[in-house]
Structure 1
């Protein structure tokens, strides 16, 4: 599974992606996770199965979902406290729950 973690400039998403990769490796899951920024999202979506959207981009969620839907990419809005997920386990749980569901997009509360 290919995961794109998106934030405004790509800095905070780098930490989430790194932690997510570590958690997936520890769980023995075939997951790639990369960081991206909102301005390059239209291009980066082509290499993702799931997009994790930083909580500070909640205002752009509908726009991101509209870009992702035609590509079959699932979108998850991360919770406000995701940056306290130091081992990546919560982010991984969100990704696996969305991947297992038939829902095209979700928020952290529904995933």
Structure 2
């Protein structure tokens, strides 16, 4: 899956293998091997590629089809959710460790904030 995603992302930005290699500090041959699924990047390079394309590593690896999905882990809830208060801790706890698209997080926050108005 990584090889397909890398190629698709590169092409979506209209980059050649050589151009992408230069941006990532790799050889064009390395990009070719990754896209042919003949070589696997280490975690450091996966992170670098994800950052460059502004996608998640999970997306690169095919664990999700949403490139911008965020994973909320326990106390790493968005600031807005933490500020809502103790009344909503149960909801926050249920959301912990779930994959929730950013637009859904915004909807949840909007509903919770406007509930007391």
TM-score, normalised via structure 2 length: 0.25
Greater RCO (CA < 8 Å, at least 6 residues apart) = 1
Task: Tell me which structure has the larger Cα radius of gyration.
Answer: 2
The TM-score, its normalising length taken from structure 1, stands at 0.26
- Structure (1/2) with the larger strand percentage: 1
Bigger fraction of residues in helix: 2
